[in-house]
Amino acid sequence: MNNQHPFIPYNLPNFSAEELLKKSKEYLEFFEGRRTVREFSDKDVPKKVIENIIKTASTSPSGAHKQPWTFCVVSSKEIKKKIREAAEKEEYESYNNRMPDTWLKDLEPFQTDWHKPFLETVPWIIVVFKKAYDITDGKKTNNYYVNESVGLACGFLLNAIYHCGLAALTHTPSPMNFLTKVLNRPENERPFLLIPVGYLAEGAKVPELKRKSLEEVSVFYE
Ligand code: IYR
């Protein structure tokens, strides 16, 4: 028994096969309705809600439980404007000079372009930073599987947002290093994903798309 690192009892519900089927189906049906959106309302979302969403994301598994993430949460109009201006500058370059034709063609169904007005419309922008390493008592300490860990936390974050009936976009203005500057982040943090969060705009539309079938996304070895 290692007293410095104690284990505590843990339980899961032990549902019957029928209950499992019901629960898994309900969850699937719920998530089939999740969509990425780009049209947001400016209606306020309480700060406490965003705090709970971030606490949920932070329950995600991570390499050696290092939780190598920082969620920067922006509601300041001034900072949102700065983010929009810098993102649009990069996106203008990307759409006009950096993205190859094949990429632009793949994006046609989404009707995206360099304009990002939602960055000022939304009540909240969550900018997720990954921590390449940590500084503990002034010393560099390692983090592990940082991309996997932060990617998982972002998945948890998106699910928590959707669970509240709120809208979100996984936005990756590229390159993203302007966010380090605008948000004044330390050297060990790198921008990972920018997620505007808010109510859906009235009359919002999303592109019609089909998801891959189970057969297309899985292989069972029985
Ligand atoms: N970052 C750009 C381009 C873009 C890229 C992918 I991959 C998308 O799925 C959507 C957009 C933009 O946000 O417009």
Sheet with 189-198, strands from edge to edge, namely: 69-74, 124-131, 189-198, 167-168
pLDDT at 2 over 70: no
Query: How much is the mean pLDDT over the chain?
Result: 97
User: Residue 185's CB: how many other CB atoms inside 10 A?
Assistant: 17
pLDDT category at 3 given cuts 50, 70, 90 is confident
Q: What is the pLDDT of residues 124-141, one digit of tens each?
A: 999 999 999 999 898 999
Ligand 1 pocket: which of 88, 125, 172 to mutate (most atoms <8 Å of CB)? 172
- Residue nearest to ligand 1 atom 9, measured at CA: 107
**Cα(107) to centroid(ligand 1), Å:** 7
Is the pTM of the predicted complex or chain greater than 0.85? Answer: yes
pLDDT at 214 over 80: yes
Q: Which atom belonging to ligand 1 lies closest to the Cα atom of 110?
A: 10
pLDDT at 1 over 90: no
- Cα–Cα dist 181/190, whole Å: 11
For residue 93 the two structure tokens come to 């370059």
Closest CA to 115 of 166, 173, 72, 179: 173
For residue 114 the two structure tokens come to 């360099």
Ligand 1 residue neighbourhood (C-beta within 6 Å): 91, 107, 110, 112, 171-174
